[in-house]
Amino acid sequence: MTSEPAADRAEWGAPGSPHRTREEQVLDRIDRVRRRKAVVKEERITLAHGSGGRATQTLIQAVFLEEFGNPLLAPLEDGATLRLGDARTAFTTDSFVVSPLFFPGGDIGDLAVNGTVNDLAMCGARPGYLAAGFILEEGFLVADLRRIVASMAAAAAAAGVSIVTGDTKVVQRGKADGCYITTTGVGVVERPVELSASGARPGDAVIVSGPMGDHGAAIMVARGEFDLESPIVSDTAPLHGIVSALLDALPGHVRTLRDATRGGVATILNEVAAASRVAVVVEEKALPVRPEVTGVCELLGIDPLYVACEGRFVAVVDGAHAGRALEALRRHPLGAGAAIVGTIRDDPPGLVLLRTAFGGTRIVDVLVGDPLPRIC
């Protein structure tokens, strides 16, 4: 009986080894394709470039990072964390083009405030100040603008932030769609946290803070394009309070926080898998989705995993403290529906796997195309 050299034995099952199983070889090829240098093949921008999915990621990497690249931007977190004097601050910006402007549970105004507040919260920051930029189309009703601005003021007051500067531009009739808003925010990082999509480790737990897809489903129904009726309302809400509760309950044990907006929970999980070089394994039966959202998605042929939320987030926490994290979230009014939905593994790196309710396993890929344009 002969034995293999130790070096050869070590290569068995390693990426690139001819001894990998067929399944492992397929996963290796997927991983290699994903790690190729990003190239924008289209000659013109499409709606998919704003989806938050694969086309958006390619555009950011091949165009914006190519010219703007720097160490603060490179991680592509929800905001940049930087030092200004003695203060550790978070800085972020976001634009809102949702259609329709008014929808069940909110409007473009509170969405613009909550969206930026939440990006700061995902950095572990206490939001402080916002800037607001408006692009208005000639002919837009002043009454609608007043309604939007009042909604922004109410959302800012509820979140404890002030809108302290801004800008207004008006474009010719037909050159926009009523009203677009950009909000920029700054906050203070008061805790010694290092939150990043690259922070997940094998053994960690993946938690979703509440039912998925409410916002996207509410927008789809509100557009009236599909002759659907449903009581679904948007989940738009400021998340810094519930994030504070989580960080206080698990000091040093929260790895990643991401709000699940464009591209939904699936896109966030893929970002974590890619940035941390880990596998994310999700249990389908554990995913919190309201029956009415499931119904709308089934009618339209859309997976709720890809539908946008505006008041939910994904947290990756130390697996040993997952139960305590869940208790902290569920004690908060915005976290009553929180659920542990999966775990982090070391293999296959860079992929999200879904264990289906029927006992099978499938890959959850990055969103391709844009089934729900102008959702936020």
pLDDT tens digit sequence for 188-221:
999 999 999 999 999 999 999 999 999 999 999 9
145 in a structural domain: yes
Same domain, 162 and 236: no
Same domain, 157 and 183: yes
108 in a structural domain: yes
Mean pLDDT on 43-53:
90
Same domain, 224 and 297: yes
Same domain, 160 and 305: no
Residue 306 clears pLDDT 70, i.e. is over it: yes
92 in a structural domain: yes
Same domain, 181 and 219: no
Residues 183, 298 contacting (CB under 8 angstroms): no
| DSSP secondary structure string for all residues of 67-113 | HH--TTTTT--SSEEEEETTEEEEEEEEEE--SSSEETTEEHHHHHH
Same domain, 180 and 214: no
Mean pLDDT on 347-374:
90
Picking from 160, 188, 216, the residue at the C-terminal end of a domain is 188
DSSP H helical ranges for the chain: 6-11, 22-34, 54-59, 65-68, 108-121, 142-159, 214-222, 240-249, 264-276, 291-300, 322-331
Residues 364, 269 contacting (CB under 8 angstroms): yes
Q: How many domains in the chain?
A: 2
Residue 147 clears pLDDT 70, i.e. is over it: yes
132 in a structural domain: yes
Q: Given this model, what pLDDT does residue 368 score?
A: 83
116 in a structural domain: yes
**Cβ within 8 Å of residue 295, ≥6 positions away:** 230
Q: 100 lies in which domain range?
A: 77-188
Average pLDDT, the chain: 91
298 in a structural domain: yes
| Least confident stretch, 16-25, 174-183, 260-269 | 16-25
Same domain, 223 and 271: yes
Same domain, 212 and 327: yes
Q: What is the CATH number of the domain that holds 145?
A: 3.30.1330.10
Query: Around 18, how many Cα atoms within 13 Å sit in the side-chain half-sphere?
Result: 1
370 in a structural domain: no
Picking from 125, 155, 188, the residue at the C-terminal end of a domain is 188
N-term to C-term CA, the chain: 66
In tens, the pLDDT along 230-277 reads: 789 999 999 999 999 999 999 999 999 999 999 999 999 999 999 999
How much of the chain exceeds pLDDT 90, in percent?
Answer: 79
Q: How confident is the model at residue 360 (pLDDT cuts 50, 70, 90)?
A: very high
Query: Around 311, how many Cα atoms within 13 Å sit in the side-chain half-sphere?
Result: 23
Which burial class, exposed, middle or buried, applies to 239 when counting CB atoms under 10 A from its CB (0-12, 13-18, 19+)?
Answer: buried
Residues 275, 63 contacting (CB under 8 angstroms): no
Same domain, 359 and 219: yes
Residue 3 clears pLDDT 50, i.e. is over it: no
| DSSP secondary structure string for all residues of 157-173 | HHHT-EEEEEEEEEE-T
Q: What is the CATH number of the domain that holds 261?
A: 3.90.650.10
Same domain, 217 and 312: yes
Residue 317 in 3-state DSSP? strand
Residue 376 clears pLDDT 60, i.e. is over it: yes
Amino acid at 296: V
In tens, the pLDDT along 68-114 reads: 999 999 999 999 999 989 899 999 999 999 999 999 999 999 999 99
Q: Given this model, what pLDDT does residue 12 score?
A: 45
Mean pLDDT on 278-307:
95
Same domain, 225 and 316: yes
323 in a structural domain: yes
Picking from 188, 215, 234, the residue at the C-terminal end of a domain is 188
Residue 296 in tokens: 């709308």
> Helix axis angle, 291-300 relative to 214-222, nearest 10°?
60
Same domain, 234 and 337: yes
Question: What's this model's pTM, rounded to 2 decimal places?
Answer: 0.90
DSSP class of residue 32 equals: H
